[in-house]
């Protein structure tokens, strides 16, 4: 009788531990922000609810080293919140088995060369032992030779450069009324890409995997006027 009761209790405990183990997973790798000073980046994350229950998580606290000139936001779809001042507004509800893709981090890299980390700690509203952590690292680089400033536009350059996959163009549109574009051409001027730059964003990813190795040019146009041209190197 005692052995049967012990077996039942052990089975119940095992089932409870198994249920707690099947929680939310962060499918994205550690979020990494690398860019020039005075730029802002936005990264997307993917969460998956591995359990067979609906779960709701809230941001309990943020941990890390953030400079005085830096700022960050946690965005749920199109709504963004300051994780330090209003963590109570950052709640994520996941249905059983749901893969959640409407979570984004926005980070203003600030005005000083530095590096550091920050983490977001989420807790289940009904079971504080059920948690997950979003880990982030950042590196703020000097403006460098690619930096360029115009009355309506600020260019941070592209990185990495050279690259063989994706080059990230960092920029800031000071006047949202202007029409800003970046045009990528071959070294002899043959057009390859023509992207309109969104004034609500601060970076653009340029996929170069289909280009042959070599030197290319990217030119910024503001209201159809050429304001600056820089080199983009594609390697193998």
pLDDT band at 9 (very low <50, low <70, confident <90, very high): very low
Token digits for 6? 């012990």
Q: 10 Å Cβ neighbour count for 102?
A: 14
Angstrom distance (rounded) from CA 221 to CA 227: 6
Asked whether the beta carbons of 159 and 37 are under 8 A apart, the reply is no
Report pLDDT for 17.
Answer: 43
Task: Say whether pLDDT at 61 is over 50.
Answer: yes
pLDDT band at 22 (very low <50, low <70, confident <90, very high): low
Largest CA distance in the chain: 88
- Residue 108, judged by CB atoms within 10 A of its CB (0-12, 13-18, 19+), counts as buried
Asked whether the beta carbons of 147 and 181 are under 8 A apart, the reply is no
Q: 10 Å Cβ neighbour count for 128?
A: 9
Asked whether the beta carbons of 168 and 155 are under 8 A apart, the reply is no
pLDDT per position as a tens digit, 125-169: 888 889 999 999 999 987 667 788 899 999 988 888 999 999 999
Token digits for 125? 């509203």
Question: What are the structural domains of the chain?
Answer: 21-141 (2.60.40.10), 148-234 (2.60.40.1930)
Task: Say whether pLDDT at 16 is over 60.
Answer: no
In percent, the amount of the chain with pLDDT more than 70 equals: 90
Cα–Cα distances in Å, from 199 out to 39, 140, 146, 171, 172? Answer: 13, 22, 20, 9, 7
Angstrom distance (rounded) from CA 189 to CA 82: 44
pLDDT band at 4 (very low <50, low <70, confident <90, very high): low
* Selected residue with higher pLDDT from 72 and 113: 72
């Amino acid at each position: 009788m005692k052995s049967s009761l012990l077996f039942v209790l052990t089975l119940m405990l095992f089932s409870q531990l198994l249920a707690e183990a099947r929680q939310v997973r962060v499918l994205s790798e550690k979020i990494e922000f690398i860019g020039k000073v005075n730029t802002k980046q936005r990264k997307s994350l993917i969460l998956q609810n591995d359990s067979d229950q609906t779960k709701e998580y809230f941001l309990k606290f943020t941990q890390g080293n953030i400079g005085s000139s830096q700022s960050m936001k946690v965005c749920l779809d199109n709504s963004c919140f300051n994780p330090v001042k209003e963590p109570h507004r950052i709640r994520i509800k996941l249905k059983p088995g749901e893969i959640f893709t409407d979570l984004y981090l926005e980070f203003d890299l600030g005005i000083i060369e530095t590096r550091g980390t920050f983490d977001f700690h989420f807790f289940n509203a009904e079971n504080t032992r059920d948690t997950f952590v979003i880990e982030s690292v950042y590196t703020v680089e000097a403006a460098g030779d690619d930096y360029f400033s115009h009355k309506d536009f600020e260019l941070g350059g592209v990185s990495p450069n050279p690259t063989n996959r994706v080059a990230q163009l960092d920029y800031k549109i000071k006047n949202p009324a202007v029409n800003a574009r970046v045009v990528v051409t071959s070294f002899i001027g043959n057009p390859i890409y023509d992207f309109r730059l969104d004034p609500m964003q601060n970076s653009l990813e340029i996929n170069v995997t289909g280009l042959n190795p070599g030197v290319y040019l990217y030119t910024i146009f503001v209201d159809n006027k050429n304001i600056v041209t820089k080199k983009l190197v594609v390697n193998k």
